[in-house]
Amino acid sequence: MTLKRYLCCLLVCLTLLCTVACDHDRPTEDLSQSDGSVGFTVNYLDVDGGDAILVRTGGRTMLIDAGYEETADRMILALRDLGVERIDYLLITHFDKDHVGGVPSLVSEFTVLNIIQPVYEKPTATFYTRYRTAVARSGALVTDLTEPSLLTLGGQSFYLYPGEATAYAEGDNDFSLVVKATYGAVSFLFAGDVEAARLKEMNDSKINWSATVLKCPHHGTYNKRSETFYNKVSPKYAIITDSDTEPPSPDTLSRLAALGAQVYRTSQGSITVYTDGTDVTVSYQ
C-alpha cells in the first residue's frame, strides 16, 4: 500500500469513527460526577416477575436489567413517567429472557450510553440473538466484566462483582453480576439471580454483604445456602421481583421475617426506595 493510499484509508476510518460518535450523541459531560442533586432513588419496576431496576443518583441513571420482551412497553412507559430521558449505564446481570428480553425495545426508545455485561457461554435462544443485535446497533459502549470493578456514576461508587468460578451448576444464574452501593449510611445490594453455588462463594468471601436494602436473589427462591446469605446481609428492607404465578419460597419469607426485614414484592406493584443517606422511605407506586 502506498503512503497516499494508506493516508486515504486512515481518513476514511477517522470519518467513520466520528460519524459513529456523532450519531449516538455521546455527551461530553463526565458521568462520574454528580450534577449536585441529593439522594439515591431506586425503582424496582413491576415487569411480571422479571428484573428491571432503575437507580438514579447525582443526576445519572443506571438500569439494572430490562425485564421480558413482553413487558418492554410497560417498562418504557414507567421509565418515561419517571422522567428518564436516557440511560447512562445499562447493567445486565445475566442473559436470561426475564433480564434482557426488554433490551431491544429499550435501546430503540432511549439513548443508552454504556452497557456492562457478564462473560460466560452465551445462550443460543432467539431472545439472546435479538439482544446482541440490538446492543450492536445501539452504539452503546459495551464492557464485558470479568473482574470485581468499581464504577463511579453521579459521584456515587458502585461495586460490581462477577462470579469467581469459570463454571457453575446453574450456568446462567450463578454468573449474575452482583452490585453493591452505599449512600451515606444506607446500603443497597442487588443480587441478580444467584443460586446455591454462587451463594456459597459469596458466603465464603471476605466481602461485607450487609445491606439496608436487598434485591433478593433469584426472585425469592430458597436453597441450602440462602439462610447463611440472608443472615450475612441482614436487610431492613427486602425486595422480591416475583409474579402472581411465581411467588417467592415460603422459606425465604420466613427467613426474612425472622430477621425482621420488611418485605416488598413487585407482584404487588412497582416499588420505590428513596434515601437521603440517613432515612429510607419505601412505597408502592
Q: Which segment (26-34, 95-103, 119-127, 264-272) binds Zn ion by CB under 5 A?
A: 95-103
CA-CA distance, 8 to 129, in Å (whole number)? Answer: 35
Residue closest to 203 by CA, chosen among 182, 226, 219: 226
Residue type, position 98, single letter: D
Q: Convert residues 190-209 into a mask of x (bound to Zn ion by CB under 5 A) and - (unbound).
A: ---x----------------
Q: Which segment (9-17, 20-28, 91-99, 267-275) binds Zn ion by CB under 5 A?
A: 91-99
Place of cell 445475566: 94
Residue closest to 188 by CA, chosen among 179, 197, 196: 179
Cβ proximity to Zn ion: between 194 and 202 the closer is 194
Using CB under 5 A as the binding rule, the residues of this chain from 166 to 195 that contact Zn ion are 193
Place of cell 443497597: 188
Cβ proximity to Zn ion: between 220 and 235 the closer is 220
Cβ proximity to Zn ion: between 65 and 88 the closer is 65
Cβ proximity to Zn ion: between 69 and 98 the closer is 98
Least distance (Å) between residue 108 CB and Zn ion: 23
Using CB under 5 A as the binding rule, the residues of this chain from 218 to 257 that contact Zn ion are none
Contact status: 88 vs Zn ion (CB under 5 A): no
Beta strands at 186-190 and 178-183: parallel, antiparallel or unpaired: antiparallel
Name which position in 88, 98, 174, 242 contacts Zn ion (CB under 5 A). Answer: 98
Cβ proximity to Zn ion: between 49 and 58 the closer is 49
Paired strand residues for 61: 56
- With beta carbons less than 8 A apart as the criterion, state whether 225 and 201 touch: no
Least distance (Å) between residue 41 CB and Zn ion: 23
Least distance (Å) between residue 7 CB and Zn ion: 51
CA-CA distance, 158 to 223, in Å (whole number)? Answer: 27
Cβ proximity to Zn ion: between 46 and 193 the closer is 193
Least distance (Å) between residue 219 CB and Zn ion: 6
74-78 contacts, C-beta under 8 A, 24 or more apart: 74/45, 74/46, 74/47, 74/48, 75/45, 75/47, 75/102, 75/105, 75/106, 76/102, 76/105, 76/106, 76/109, 76/110, 78/43, 78/45, 78/270
Number of residues that bind Zn ion (CB under 5 A): 2
Give the footprint of Zn ion on this chain (CB under 5 A): 98, 193
